Chain A
Amino acid sequence: MTAFLDGIGYGTWALHALLWLPLVGLAVVLVLPAERAKHVAFAWTAGLFVLSVGLWWAFDPSGELFQLVTRREWIAVWGVSYALGIDGISLFMILLTTLTMPLAILGSFQYIREREKAFYALMLLLQTGIVGVFVSMDLFLFYVFFELTLVPMYFIVGVWGGERRIYAAVKFFLYTALGSLLMLVGLLYLYASARGFLGQPSFHLTDLVGTPLTTTEQLWLFAAFALAFAIKVPLFPLHTWLPDAHVEAPTPGSVVLAAVLLKMGTYGFIRFALPLFPEAATHPGVIGLMMTLGVVGIIYAAWVAAVQPDAKKLVAYTSVAHMGFVIIGIFALTVNGLQGGLMVMISHGVSTGALFLLVGMLYERRHTREIADFGGLARVAPLMATAFVITALSSIGLPGTSGFVGEFLALLGTFERFPVFAVFATTGVIFAAYYMLPMVQRILFNRLEDPENRAIPDLSRRELVVLGPLLFLMIALGVSPGPVLERMEPGVQAVVEYLDVEGVEDTAARPVLPLDDGDVTETGP
């Protein structure tokens, strides 16, 4: 496989193709007649997924930290470069994105009945934005893509959403924009400081890492970046936009939002906020705050989820809880914790994406999402019930599913340094069972009383195709997470070593983030 990929020069064009081909697809969708928009969009994104799978082999876990790198001038006066590259962390975020997109589109065939062209065009635009976030090595470029994802999402929620869609869309937009604009000011501060240090303007990550800043400066800048990312994650108490956006969004919007958009926040923490401001990130106050918010988020969201009458809102709150695990995993600043956090990100993407799809399928059948309206579906729709149970168990974190690996590692990593936080966070796993299992019971089991529920059809073949890959991943990642962890490890190791959390006194001996090797010179096509 590797030889084949080398033969076609995969490494030189793959990232560019994954980034820009969705826009070509957008043009194709707009040109073709509306009836064919959904099929074209699905075929296009599925093709992109196939294309992206090559990254698995093209990325060499024993090689350089950042691979497939490109660096070319974009706006020379400002030192902005078109710089792409992936490490083991972004690799999986990209794969998650390219997998989620075709599934979300396939899952929307029933739901999206009007203005299809516009909808699928926006989905493709969204894909460019998300992939851009995960491949950018230049902070300016990253910022552009980070913001760019807002526009398509705003319209997806606002045009095709539910009753209170406009409120939800605007809230989503303003919340995230507030965070990112302050991050922009912080970024420019960093850029101005680095300019004096480097002697030339640059927004490239490898140039900006290691900019000498005082602790106070680091804390302020970290706050600016962390606010933007924490809103995106979303971290308690900045999460209030999320339930609204999820409930009002059309199914595909919710799926993409949960599966990948939220990950842009946690990814931002790992990729940018930690290495750029190491002193702030290891500051006990910062860690204490992030840990507390993460743990509070886990427990609070679980309690709130438990009393939701609306299945979609319940699933939305589980996102807040899961992302809390990611945050404590990251801020434990141990290899286990970070890897656990990343595994939770992947597994949450897979299982919550599937949950939103399932809730969407229920809604398409009954036009309600109230848990109380359902009951006994396992008898009439066994396939759907099976999928629902597997997904719910994976979401809870049952051993043998992907959810377990991530949460276990995150908790283990946290326990190594913060046993108290770990103990409280662990209760979140129990609460997860407490909110998820009653929902499963009330929807799938109980009595089949309502005659409308008797008429519910089981999964169609299209729906099986949508859910199949996700179910497969839930089990596969739970049984054999090794290959994934192995690819992530160098990236995670680099962050932990660079941050040097054990507090070695001799700062000269501090391992330098291998980002600095200067190995990122032009290798583009």
Chain B
Amino acid sequence: MTLDFTSSSDLLWALLPEIVLSVWAMAVLLAGVWRNDGSGDWENAGALRWLSLTGVLAAALMNAWLHGVTVLGEPDVITVDGFRLFANWVLLLGAGMTIVISVPYVTHQRLQAGEFYTLILLATVGMMIMAGTRNLIVLFLALETMSVAAYVLTAYNRRDRRSAEAGLKYFILGAFSSVFLLYGIALVWGGTGSVVLPQIAETIEAGAGFTGLLLAGMGLMAIGFAFKIGAVPFHMWTPDVYEGAPSPSTAFMATAVKAASFVAFVRVFLEAFWNLYASWYVIIWWLAALTIVVANLIALAQGSVKRMLAYSSIAHGGYLLVGMAAANAIGTAGVLFYLLVYTLMNVGAFGVLMIVAGHGEERVQVDDYAGFGWRAPLMGVVFTIFLLSLAGFPGTGGFMAKIYLLQGAAASQLWTLAVLLALGTVVSYYYYLRVAWYMWMKPARPEGETPSSRGVPAPLNLVLVAAAVILLLLGVFPGGLLEGAQTAAEGLGLFTSEGFLGLAD
């Protein structure tokens, strides 16, 4: 099928995955209310989960369908390129996995399941539009859709003080960062007279913009995005929010929300500002370097596994920034591939974390893991695979993803960042392995307090095992997906056949 972007009905076709998901979100909301007999709908979490998953699946089918269409005209509000579609896969995967791992928590904490899943789906809609839009105003609206849903998800367990506190913190700082972004957009509009990415790029290339306004706007936008992805020094909110939020929300924020912000960040800076690469590359370089060093060092000192995962997810943001700083086809493809692998392993890790933590999240310290591996061997092995993959160990998808980013850095001669990435990885080995050694090498608690995996619902087990197996497969046969990521990055249409950004020199 051909989509002609001059006709508005074709625009709707291009938005089909998002539309399907929005409609489904409302259906889930209604279904939650419908079945509610006044006692709360957490009992229905299982059924609502399946309904929500079907929605994710339907959106995924639409996304698959979009792979086959050809595009005419210059897309503006929403584009159909490989970059968007690949990002959509990542986001839908994150949403789907979060929905599955959240069921025990939602049921036991007696949360309103209908609204919970609706919020996840709506946030996903926002993220998918963020990945696909080339218009800064639409980008901002999509980002707010995602953020508002994420604020609520953070504060969702309103009976828990930590959750409420985290929600408030997230809301205030999130709003603060959105203002940076919005102000940046306004200045960029002032500097170039446009909010459409390709038009901004043309104006810059023609030398027609007001450079001062433009640079200020670009800088403010970079700060706004850096807040959203939690890059050092704009990371202060992440650990508290990640720790306080209900674990399913944390998993969702650490993967899908971060992925969407990253994809938008990359798209805006590559598509609109590629001619200013020399200016923004310095910013990204420092963000990456600081993030890798600081986040890894702080993660070392964490006694709580949940907090450790929070800091380590900041560090992963640092690795991703290396791929962005490289600004070539390999680095960009690396970012996409990394996000996919990262979603699998991080949501997986949070899934196991929730099993260990118990229904009230009372066991999140690393000591609580003593002997867990031998008590629940399957979950122990699965968690070990997630940890090794997060650490980027050969044989796992995490390794291939890290190599991809390193190759991107190599192609742009960013050797200092490459070495920092390698050293950061060594540091991360320590804190990831620490969990492994508690699981396998420490004796179990005598009083029988060691958590077990009994009573874990089968779908959750299945998803975690599947994620671990996929990670191992990606570590051995990444070929197809690597090519997919490469095609997706080239879908931006910015890179020459040499694989380098066509910089004007």
Contacts and interface: CB of A to CB of B under 8 A. Distances in A.
B283 interface: no
A160 to B, nearest CB: 9
Nearest to A76: B479
A1 interface: no
B440 to A, nearest CB: 6
Interface string B410-425: 1100010011001101
Interface stretch (A163-171, A316-324, A380-388, A460-468): A163-171
Contacts of A151: 388, 393, 395
B482 A174 contact: no
B40 interface: no
A174 B429 contact: yes
A184 interface: yes
B374 interface: yes
A189 B415 contact: yes
Most buried by A among B394, B418, B479: B394
A165 to B, nearest CB: 7
A191 interface: yes
Interface in B425-454: 425-426, 429-430, 433-434, 437, 440-442
Contacts of B486: 77
B437 A169 contact: yes
Interface range on chain A (Cβ under 8 Å from partner): 20 to 34
B407 interface: yes
Contacts of B425: 177, 181
B260 interface: no
A182 B416 CA distance: 12
Interface residues of B, number: 31
Interface in B380-397: 388, 393-395
A158 B422 contact: no
Given A148-B395, A151-B393, A181 B437 contact: no
B478 interface: yes
Contacts of B430: 170, 174
Nearest to A193: B410
B419 A185 contact: yes
A75 B393 contact: no
A147 B422 contact: no
Contacts of B74: none
Given A77-B482, A166-B441, A192 B411 contact: yes
Contacts, number: 81
A166 B442 CA distance: 9
B441 A77 contact: no
B10 interface: no
Contact of B410 (A144, A155, A169, A189): A189
Contacts of B284: none
Contacts of B422: 181-182, 184-185
A185 B418 contact: yes
A123 to B, nearest CB: 16
A380 B441 CA distance: 37
A351 to B, nearest CB: 31
B410 A174 contact: no
A166 B429 CA distance: 14
A198 interface: no
Contacts of B374: 115
Contacts of B437: 158, 166, 169-170
B429 A188 contact: no
A185 B415 contact: yes
B411 A147 contact: no
Contacts of B406: 184-185, 188
A182 B388 contact: no
A166 B441 CA distance: 7
B440 A147 contact: no
A457 B488 CA distance: 69
Interface string A137-158: 0000001110110010011001
Contact of B393 (A74, A115, A147): A147
A166 B439 CA distance: 12
A146 to B, nearest CB: 8
A479 interface: no
Interface string A78-104: 100000000000000000000000000
A181 B440 contact: no
Interface string B359-403: 000000000000000100000000000001000011100010001
A184 B393 CA distance: 12
Nearest to B475: A144
B160 interface: no
A159 interface: yes
Contacts of B410: 188-189, 191-192
Contacts of A154: 433
A145 B393 CA distance: 11
Nearest to B441: A158
A170 B433 contact: yes
B239 to A, nearest CB: 24
Contacts of A191: 407, 410
A74 B403 CA distance: 15
Contacts of B403: 78, 184, 188
A77 B415 CA distance: 22
A158 B440 contact: yes
A303 interface: no
A174 B395 contact: no
A155 B425 CA distance: 20
B441 A75 contact: no
Given A181-B425, A191-B410, A159 B482 contact: no
A145 B419 CA distance: 21
Contacts of B440: 155, 158-159
A115 B440 CA distance: 11
Contacts of A159: 440-441
A434 interface: no
A75 B415 contact: no
A155 B440 CA distance: 8
Interface string B168-195: 0000000000000000000000000000
A407 to B, nearest CB: 35
Contact of B478 (A75, A181, A185, A192): A75
Contact of A181 (B407, B426, B483): B426
A221 to B, nearest CB: 11
B160 to A, nearest CB: 34
Given A181-B425, A185-B415, A189-B415, A75 B479 contact: yes
Contacts of A78: 403, 407, 482
Contacts of A75: 478-479, 482
A7 to B, nearest CB: 33
Contacts of A170: 430, 433-434, 437
Interface string B472-487: 0000001100110010
A173 interface: yes
A178 interface: yes
24 contacts: A74-B479, A75-B479, A76-B483, A78-B407, A143-B394, A144-B395, A144-B399, A148-B395, A151-B395, A154-B433, A159-B440, A166-B437, A169-B437, A170-B433, A170-B437, A174-B429, A178-B423, A182-B422, A185-B418, A185-B419, A188-B410, A188-B418, A191-B410, A192-B410
A-B pairs, 6 with minimum CB distance:
A181-B422, A144-B394, A192-B410, A147-B394, A158-B441, A188-B410
Given A169-B441, A173-B433, 12 more contacts: A143-B394, A147-B395, A148-B394, A151-B393, A158-B441, A159-B440, A166-B441, A173-B429, A182-B423, A188-B406, A191-B410, A192-B407
Interface of B: 374, 388, 393-395, 399, 403, 406-407, 410-411, 415, 418-419, 422-423, 425-426, 429-430, 433-434, 437, 440-442, 478-479, 482-483, 486
Interface of A: 74-78, 115, 143-145, 147-148, 151, 154-155, 158-159, 165-166, 169-170, 173-174, 177-178, 181-182, 184-185, 188-189, 191-192
